[in-house]
Structure 1
Amino acid sequence: MSAQQIPNLLSLRGGPRSRGGRGRGRGPSTSDADHGISGSNARNRKDLDIQSTDTDAAVSRLSAVSLGYLHDPYAALFVAGGGTRRMPIINRGTYTRTTALDILINAFLAHQDPNQPQVKQIISLGAGTDTRYFRLRSQDKQHNLIYHEFDFPTVSETKRRTVLGNPMLSKLQEEEYIFPDPRHPPPSQTAEWGITQTKDGVSETTYCCHPLDLRQLPKIQTLQEILGLRNDIPTLVISECCLCYLDVDSSRDVVKWFSDRIPSLGIILYEPIGADDPFGQMMVANLAARGITMPSLRPYKTLLDQKTRLGELGFSKDSGGQEAETVEKIWEQWIPSTEKERVDSLEGLDEVEEWQMLARHYAVVWGWRGSLGWEGWNGLGTTTAS
Structure 2
Amino acid sequence: MSAPHIPNLLSMSRGGGGLRGRRGRGGPRLPPAAEGHSDASSRFHDKAIQGTDSDAAVSRYSAVSLGYLDDQFAQYFVNGQATRRLPIINRGTYTRTTALDTLVDAFISCPKSSPQTPTRQIISLGAGTDTRYFRLRAQNKHHNILYHEFDFPTVIASKFRIIDSNKSVLLGDETLFEKAPSPADHGAETIPEWGLERNIDGQKESRYICHPLDLRDLTKTASLGSFDGLRCGIPTLIISECCLCYLNVNVAHDVIKWFADHIPDLGIALYEPIGTEDSFGQMMVSNLAARGVVMPTVREYKTLGDQRERLSQLGFGDGQEAKDVERVWQEWVSAEEKERVDGLEGLDEVEEWVMLAKHYGLVWGWRGVGFECWKGLSG
TM-score clears 0.5: yes
Corresponding residue of 2:64: 65
Q: TM-score, normalised by structure 2?
A: 0.86
Q: Structure 1 residue 54: deviation in Å?
A: 0.5
Corresponding residue of 1:342: 340
State the secondary structure of the residue aligned to 2:13. Answer: helix
State the secondary structure of the residue aligned to 2:172. Answer: coil
Aligned with 1:6 (options 6, 9, 22): 9
Distance 1:341 1:194, change over 3 A: same
Q: Structure 1 residue 169: deviation in Å?
A: 4.2
Q: Structure 1 residue 264: deviation in Å?
A: 0.7
Corresponding residue of 2:86: 87
1:1-386 aligned at under 5 Å gives the runs 6-8=9-11, 10=13, 39-115=38-114, 117-173=117-173, 176-180=174-178, 189-316=190-317, 320-371=318-369, 372-378=371-377
Task: State whether residues 217 and 254 of structure 1, in contact with CA within 8 Å, keep that contact through their aligned partners in structure 2.
Answer: yes
Task: State whether residues 307 and 363 of structure 2, in contact with CA within 8 Å, keep that contact through their aligned partners in structure 1.
Answer: yes
Point out 4+ residue stretches in structure 1 off by more than 6 angstroms.
none
Q: TM-score, normalised by structure 1?
A: 0.85
Tell me the distance in 1 between the aligned counterparts of 2:244 and 2:230: 20
Corresponding residue of 1:30: none
C-alpha distance after superposition, 1:347-367 (max 9, x if no partner): 000000000000000010001
Tell me the distance in 2 between the aligned counterparts of 1:268 and 1:313: 13
Task: State whether residues 179 and 196 of structure 1, in contact with CA within 8 Å, keep that contact through their aligned partners in structure 2.
Answer: yes
Q: Structure 1 residue 9: deviation in Å?
A: 7.1
Tell me the distance in 2 between the aligned counterparts of 1:147 and 1:75: 18
Distance 1:375 1:101, change over 3 A: closer
Distance 1:101 1:249, change over 3 A: same
Tell me the distance in 1 between the aligned counterparts of 2:373 and 2:288: 34
Identity percentage of aligned residues = 56
Which residue identity lines up with residue 62 of structure 2 in the other structure?
A: S
Task: State whether residues 333 and 379 of structure 1, in contact with CA within 8 Å, keep that contact through their aligned partners in structure 2.
Answer: no
C-alpha distance after superposition, 1:177-208 (max 9, x if no partner): 211299xxxx9642101112233443222111
Tell me the distance in 2 between the aligned counterparts of 1:168 and 1:66: 21
Please say which of residues 78-87 and 142-151 is displaced more in the overlay.
78-87
Task: State whether residues 308 and 322 of structure 2, in contact with CA within 8 Å, keep that contact through their aligned partners in structure 1.
Answer: yes
Distance 1:335 1:7, change over 3 A: same
Q: Structure 1 residue 7: deviation in Å?
A: 3.2
Task: State whether residues 323 and 363 of structure 2, in contact with CA within 8 Å, keep that contact through their aligned partners in structure 1.
Answer: yes
Q: Structure 1 residue 45: deviation in Å?
A: 1.4
State the secondary structure of the residue aligned to 2:130. Answer: coil
Aligned residues: 344
Task: State whether residues 11 and 89 of structure 2, in contact with CA within 8 Å, keep that contact through their aligned partners in structure 1.
Answer: no
